[in-house]
């Protein structure tokens, strides 16, 4: 496996004003969330289930998981790098920039492994809000948990759905004695052999380029989405306008990991799309909303296609978002499919 550049962002862990406001609000309105005390029991039950799930997979035939990314900061908050598969049929690049924010709350992960004879590649964007801990937890645990799910290969969609929600429960349980209440999005692309699964929670997004056309493979979870509003209101919640539409006037997305005090409304159940990779697939773009707020889907695909190397494409997208005025952390991964590779590149040290 050829590793081109291996850098990763320096992660910040301080709690933002948003998190503090949630804690203060929840202290004033504790009675609104008394039912959430049941979350502790629910979380522990799911954590036990997750441990059993991990133990059950111990006998599966698998090769070691390879984490493509190594811990290294670059340029005071700007990280970029890339990777190419051994057969040179797949390559990816990543770019992450703190931007105008004082802290970095975006995380990302890229892993590859062999499980039951299948080549598996996983790509993820995790955009934290109210602090970085939830996003950091997903980087550390989500893909590890997913690949240990006993039905990961035979029923990948089920494994993704269960792992997302069980990892959310485990995170909440791990934070039960803290005053933090941060959360995170997750937009992931999982390749099992030649089959692509895209799962999304929150307002990060994955877009596919097929024959030059940008096709969104996830739909942002915004509170004013008709189906999301109905789900939240059916659960006893409300959507309020506070600069933008927000759950309870607080959170500007309708699904997320973490966010304990809004958990009965802000769920971590992913929406999943899957499709067989064919000759029309050119690339994937996964990114946090720091990109999508200012770069439309079509622009993102067009810009990515102008670059031969996905690392250069990812960096171009990040820089374009910053130039267009994005005030958020900006992180993206570009994955390219190479169909006509006759002479695979030899591994480099």
Q: Domain containing 142 — which CATH number?
A: 3.60.40.10
Residue 241 lies in a domain: no
Q: Are 286 and 196 in contact (CB under 8 A)?
A: no
Query: What pLDDT does residue 61 have?
Result: 54
Query: What pLDDT does residue 78 have?
Result: 81
Residue 236 lies in a domain: no
Residue 54, classified by CB atoms within 10 Å of its CB into exposed (0-12), middle (13-18) or buried (19+), is middle
Residue 26 lies in a domain: yes
Query: What pLDDT does residue 173 have?
Result: 95
- Rounded to an integer, what distance in angstroms lies between the CA atom of residue 156 and that of residue 290? 29
Strand residue runs (E) in the chain? 2-5, 66-67, 78-84, 90-97, 106-115, 118-129, 183-184, 186-192, 195-201, 205-210, 213-216, 239-241, 245-247, 257-258, 271-276, 281-287, 330-337
Q: Are 291 and 106 in contact (CB under 8 A)?
A: no
Q: How many beta carbons lie within 10 A of that of residue 197, not counting itself?
A: 20
Query: What pLDDT does residue 69 have?
Result: 58
Residue 349 lies in a domain: no
> How would you write the pLDDT of the chain (349 residues) with one tens digit per residue?
433 333 333 333 333 333 333 333 333 333 333 333 333 333 434 344 433 333 333 334 555 566 665 444 554 468 999 999 888 889 999 999 999 999 999 999 999 999 988 899 999 999 999 999 999 999 999 999 999 999 999 999 999 999 999 999 999 999 988 888 999 999 999 999 999 999 999 999 999 999 989 999 999 999 999 999 999 999 999 999 999 999 999 999 999 999 999 999 999 999 999 999 999 999 999 999 999 999 999 999 999 999 999 999 999 999 999 999 999 999 999 999 987 644 444 334 3
Rg (CA), the chain: 20
Q: Are 215 and 207 in contact (CB under 8 A)?
A: yes
Residue 173 lies in a domain: yes
Query: What pLDDT does residue 288 have?
Result: 98
- Rounded to an integer, what distance in angstroms lies between the CA atom of residue 15 and that of residue 17? 7
Helix (H, G, I), strand (E, B) or coil at 293: coil
Residues 250-305 have pLDDT tens digits of 999 999 999 999 999 999 999 999 999 999 999 999 999 999 999 999 999 999 99
Torsion sign across C-alpha atoms 147, 151, 156, 161 = negative
CA neighbor of 261 nearest in space, from 41, 38, 23, 16: 23
Residue 202 lies in a domain: yes
Give how many domains the chain has, as a whole number. 1
Report residue 196: phi and psi, to 5°. -105, 130
18: its two tokens: 């948003």
Residue 248 lies in a domain: no
Query: What pLDDT does residue 179 have?
Result: 85
- 289: domain range? 2-221+256-337
Residue 237 lies in a domain: no
- Rounded to an integer, what distance in angstroms lies between the CA atom of residue 3 and that of residue 10? 20
Nearest 10 degrees: Cα torsion 303, 307, 310, 314: -40
Report residue 10: phi and psi, to 5°. -75, 125
Q: Specify the pTM.
A: 0.79
Which residues are paired to 94 by β-bridges? 81, 333
Q: Are 173 and 165 in contact (CB under 8 A)?
A: no
Q: Are 100 and 294 in contact (CB under 8 A)?
A: no
Q: Residue-wise over 204-223: b if at least 16 C-beta within 10 A, else e?
A: bbbbbbeeeebbebbebbbb
């Amino acid at each position: 496996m050829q590793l081109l550049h291996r850098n990763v962002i320096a992660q910040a862990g301080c709690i933002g004003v948003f998190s503090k406001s949630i804690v203060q609000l929840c202290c004033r309105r504790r009675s609104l969330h008394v039912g959430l005390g049941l979350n502790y029991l629910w979380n522990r039950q799911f954590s036990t289930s997750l441990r059993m799930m991990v133990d059950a997979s111990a006998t599966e035939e698998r090769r070691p998981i390879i984490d493509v990314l190594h811990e290294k900061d670059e340029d005071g908050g700007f990280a970029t790098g890339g990777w190419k598969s051994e057969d040179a049929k797949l390559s990816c690049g990543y770019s992450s920039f703190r931007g105008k924010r004082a802290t970095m709350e975006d995380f990302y992960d890229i892993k590859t492994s062999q499980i039951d004879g299948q080549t598996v590649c996983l790509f993820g964007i995790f955009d934290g809000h109210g602090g970085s801990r939830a996003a950091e937890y997903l980087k550390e645990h989500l893909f590890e948990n997913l690949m240990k799910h006993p039905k990961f290969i035979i029923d990948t969609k089920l494994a993704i759905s269960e792992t997302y929600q069980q990892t959310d429960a485990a995170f909440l349980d791990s934070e039960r004695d803290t005053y933090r209440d941060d959360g995170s999005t997750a937009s992931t692309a999982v390749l099992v052999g030649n089959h692509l699964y895209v799962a999304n929670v929150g307002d990060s997004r994955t877009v596919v380029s097929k024959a030059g056309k940008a096709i969104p493979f996830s739909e942002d979870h915004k509170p004013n989405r008709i189906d999301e509003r109905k789900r939240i209101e059916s659960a006893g919640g409300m959507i309020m306008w506070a600069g933008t539409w927000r759950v309870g006037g607080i959170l500007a997305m309708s699904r997320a990991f973490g966010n304990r005090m809004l958990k009965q409304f802000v769920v971590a159940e992913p929406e999943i799309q899957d499709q067989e990779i064919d000759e029309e697939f050119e690339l994937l773009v996964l990114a946090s909303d720091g990109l999508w707020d200012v770069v439309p889907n079509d622009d993102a695909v067009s810009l990515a296609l102008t670059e031969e190397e996905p690392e250069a494409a990812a960096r171009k997208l990040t820089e374009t978002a910053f130039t267009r005025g994005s005030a958020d952390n900006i992180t993206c991964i570009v994955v390219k499919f190479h169909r006509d590779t006759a002479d695979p590149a030899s591994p480099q040290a």
